């Protein structure tokens, strides 16, 4: 039988092992201890993990992803008390740190605090801070416990590609670059963690994510407003955020609510609908070849994804990347995504869609160069 090959025609050598098998987790833990990266499930997205205390192991993660060295990794801990080993006592003395950790860990929240020297520079891209989180996933926690070290892990995708929410997504992107993928089923939350800077008595939202900012503010009061000195625009504070993280291979645009999508004859347009109602509206308004095919049978779109027919934003977040993975594979000319309200997890959804839209514009400009 010919060997499976990935998009670059490289042989896929990764083994997907069920995380339900204790021997598989034990094997992954041994790999981590011996400096080899392993892909594993978390509640947000799959991670590509390595021993955070071993600079060479961490370098292998950057290598496998093709990730620029100035983009820091998140260090995953097995339990909250471990943060005293890695974060600066002055930052830990900020009562908001304890409060958020005890309220939201394990969970989709990354706290950025000044680091202790035991965390190697490569893991934090030379910053004096480190992003810490305790993931809310039994497999991730078992893996960290058995490895006996904190695990530095970015999302397990190639740099600039879609985040993975299934083992199969990881295999397609990194199948020739990682030996072992632990399969824990689909990720429950589906968007990455919320990243919050809490170093030096500040409180700045660096990346909207799985934990809504409103939930954080309910615990510790208002976060610093995004503005001129918005840390998320400051490469020195959050390097990864200034990049268009996800550049789809198919152009993506966000359709203004209630607008008509215009489709050229023969053009294959995919729809990412915000709800079943949203889909119906889009079908009613779509203009194909300058006309409205009001009575036309079937869909104006070549592919339609409706992760949350009822419009529930948690469900939409959980199915977002999955839907985009499928649309990317559907041979489309472009993808049109419907916007959602920017509250709760809706903020993370819109953040990812905007990055995708910007990423597709930038990659097209590059192609034309």
Where do contacts with ligand TXA occur on this chain (CB under 6 A)? 42, 44-45, 47, 71-74, 108, 110, 112, 124, 127, 129-131, 135, 153-155, 192-193, 195, 206-207, 237-238, 240-241
Cβ proximity to Mg ion: between 155 and 281 the closer is 155
- Among ligand TXA, Mg ion, none, the one that 129 touches (CB under a kind-dependent 5 to 8 A) is ligand TXA
Contact partner, 130, from Mg ion, ligand TXA, none, Cβ < 5-8 Å per class: ligand TXA
Name which of 81, 70, 22, 25 is nearest 49 in CA terms: 25
Q: What span, in angstroms and rounded, lies between the C-alpha atoms of 285 and 291? A: 10
Nearest one of 303, 340, 342 to 324, comparing CA atoms: 303
To 10 degrees, the CA torsion angle through 60, 63, 67, 73?
A: 0
Q: List the single partner that 357 binds among Mg ion, ligand TXA, none, CB under 5 to 8 Å by kind.
A: none
- Distance of closest approach, residue 232 Cβ to ligand TXA, in angstroms: 8
The least CB distance from residue 324 to ligand TXA, in Å, is 15
- Binds 72, which of Mg ion, ligand TXA, none (CB < 5 to 8 A, cut-off by type)? ligand TXA
**Contacts of 102 by beta carbon, 8 Å cutoff, 6+ apart:** 80
d(CA 300, CA 346): 27
The residue among 27 and 187 lying less far from Mg ion, judged by its C-beta, is 187
Q: Which is nearer to ligand TXA, 6 or 110 (CB)?
A: 110
The residue (of 108 and 251) whose beta carbon lies closer to ligand TXA is: 108
Tell me which residue has its CB nearest to ligand TXA: 240
Cα–Cα distance for residue pair 167/163, rounded to 1 Å = 11
Q: Are 154 and 74 in contact (CB under 8 A)?
A: yes
**Smallest gap, in angstroms, from Cβ of residue 152 to ligand TXA?**
9
Q: How far is the CB of 120 from Mg ion (least distance, A)?
A: 20
Q: Out of Mg ion, ligand TXA, none, which partner does residue 71 contact, by CB within 5 to 8 A per kind?
A: ligand TXA
With CB under 5 to 8 Å by kind, the binding choice for 199 among ligand TXA, Mg ion, none is none
Shortest distance, CB of residue 218 to ligand TXA, whole angstroms?
21
Beta strand pairing call for 204-207 and 194-197: antiparallel
| Residues 6+ away with beta carbon under 8 Å from 295 | none
Output the smallest distance, CB 192 to Mg ion, in A.
6
* Contact (Cβ atoms closer than 8 angstroms) between residue 350 and residue 342: yes
112 touches which of Mg ion, ligand TXA, none (CB within 5 to 8 A by kind)?
ligand TXA
Number of residues that this document lists for the chain: 369
Angle ∠(264,267,270) on CA atoms, nearest 5: 115
CB of 200 to Mg ion, least distance (A): 25
Contact partners, residue 227, CB within 8 Å, separation at least 6: none
Beta strands at 287-288 and 15-18: parallel, antiparallel or unpaired: unpaired
Distance in Å, CB of 352 to ligand TXA, minimum: 11
Partner from Mg ion, ligand TXA, none binding residue 110, C-beta < 5-8 Å depending on class: ligand TXA
In the complex, minimum distance from the CB of residue 60 to ligand TXA, in angstroms, rounded to a whole number: 15
Whether the ω angle into residue 106 lies within 30 degrees of 0, i.e. cis, is: yes
Residue ranges binding Mg ion (CB under 5 A): 155
269 Cα distance to chain centroid: 25
At residue 106, the 3 state secondary structure works out as: coil
Nearer to Mg ion, 279 or 325 (CB): 325
Q: Which is nearer to ligand TXA, 41 or 270 (CB)?
A: 41
CA Rg, the chain, in Å?
A: 21
**Cβ closer to Mg ion: 146 or 155?**
155
51 or 155: CB nearest Mg ion: 155
Nearer to Mg ion, 124 or 155 (CB): 155
> Which strand (E) or helix (H) includes residue 59?
helix 55-65
Asked if 79 and 150 count as a contact pair (C-beta separation under 8 A), the reply is no
């Amino acid at each position: 039988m010919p060997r499976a090959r990935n998009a670059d025609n490289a042989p896929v050598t990764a083994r997907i092992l069920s995380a339900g098998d204790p021997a598989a987790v034990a094997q992954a833990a041994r790999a981590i201890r011996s400096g080899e990266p392993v892909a594993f499930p978390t509640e947000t997205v799959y991670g590509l993990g390595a021993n955070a205390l071993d600079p060479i192991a961490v370098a292998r993660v950057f290598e496998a992803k093709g990730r620029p060295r100035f983009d820091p990794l998140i260090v995953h801990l097995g339990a909250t008390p471990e943060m005293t080993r890695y974060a600066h006592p002055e930052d830990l003395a900020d009562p908001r740190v304890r409060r958020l950790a005890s309220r939201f860990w394990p969970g989709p929240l990354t706290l950025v605090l000044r680091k202790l020297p035991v965390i190697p520079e490569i893991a934090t891209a030379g910053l004096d801070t480190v992003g810490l989180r305790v993931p809310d996933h039994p497999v991730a926690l078992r893996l960290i416990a058995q490895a006996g070290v904190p695990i530095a892990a970015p999302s397990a995708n190639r740099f600039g590609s879609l985040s993975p929410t299934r083992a199969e997504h990881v295999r397609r992107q990194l199948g020739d670059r990682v030996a072992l993928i632990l399969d824990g089923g689909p990720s429950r939350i589906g968007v990455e963690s919320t990243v919050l800077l809490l170093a030096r008595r500040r409180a700045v939202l660096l990346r909207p994510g799985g934990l809504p900012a409103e939930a954080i503010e309910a615990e510790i009061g208002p976060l610093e407003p995004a503005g001129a000195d918005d840390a998320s625009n400051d490469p020195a504070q959050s390097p990864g955020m200034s990049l268009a993280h996800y550049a789809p291979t198919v152009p993506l645009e966000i359709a203004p609510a209630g607008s008509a999508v215009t489709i050229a004859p023969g053009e294959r347009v995919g729809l990412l609908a915000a709800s079943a109602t949203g889909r119906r509206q889009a079908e009613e308004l779509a203009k194909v070849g300058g006309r409205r095919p009001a009575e036309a049978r079937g869909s104006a779109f070549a592919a339609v994804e409706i992760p949350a027919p009822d419009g529930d934003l948690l469900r939409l977040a959980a199915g977002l990347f999955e839907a985009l993975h499928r649309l990317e594979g559907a041979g489309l000319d472009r993808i049109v995504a419907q916007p959602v309200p920017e509250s709760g997890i809706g903020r993370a959804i819109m953040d990812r869609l905007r990055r995708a839209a910007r990423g597709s514009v930038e990659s097209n400009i590059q192609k034309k160069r």
